[in-house]
Amino acid sequence: MRELQLDGGCLCGTIRFECRSKILNAYKCHCRDCQQPSGGGFMGVMWVHEHSFRFVKGEPNYHMSAPGAGRELHRGFCSNCGATVVARNTAAKGILFIIPTALDDPSVFAPRMEIWTGRTERRDLIDTTIPTFEGQPKDEEMLSFATF
């Protein structure tokens, strides 16, 4: 996969970022910790190399949650409009998670899997053409969908 220019920011423009990276992994997460900040049934997640990313305007505030297995997830959001733009997982060193809805061109988001489908609301459809996981996939399963 080739490198892409992945520019974006928050809803109000207080935060802007740029990233030149290939997309290492992409998925839809239906866990409760993702549903709540997304305001919907899932949150899209795209992995990129952290070193390829930089904020060019503003900085997010971070909220920490503990999704399990001794990990911490730090969601970066705009303190003005509340939009989530990035996340960091302590288990994924050197990887930054971009939230596709924060991209100027979210059409580059092409999920490779859906996780935590056991938490899906009835109104939300699961894409059965890609692998699905009822809960959190094992690390080796997550990595099997990644392209480094």
**76-114 pLDDT per residue, tens:** 999 999 999 999 988 889 999 999 999 999 999 999 999
CA–CA dist 113, 120 (Å, integer): 14
Query: 19, 23, 36, 24: which is closest to 116 by C-alpha?
Result: 36
Range of the domain at 49: 4-144
Enter the pTM of the model: 0.90
For residue 122, the domain's CATH number is 3.90.1590.10
Domain count along the chain: 1
pLDDT value of residue 34: 86
Contact 133, 115 (CB under 8 A): yes
Handedness of CA 146, 51, 78, 64 (dihedral sign): positive
pLDDT value of residue 69: 61
pLDDT value of residue 67: 67
pLDDT value of residue 68: 62
What are the Cα distances from residue 26, in Å, to 12, 16, 22, 59, 113?
25, 21, 11, 24, 7
Which stretches in the chain have pLDDT values below 50? none
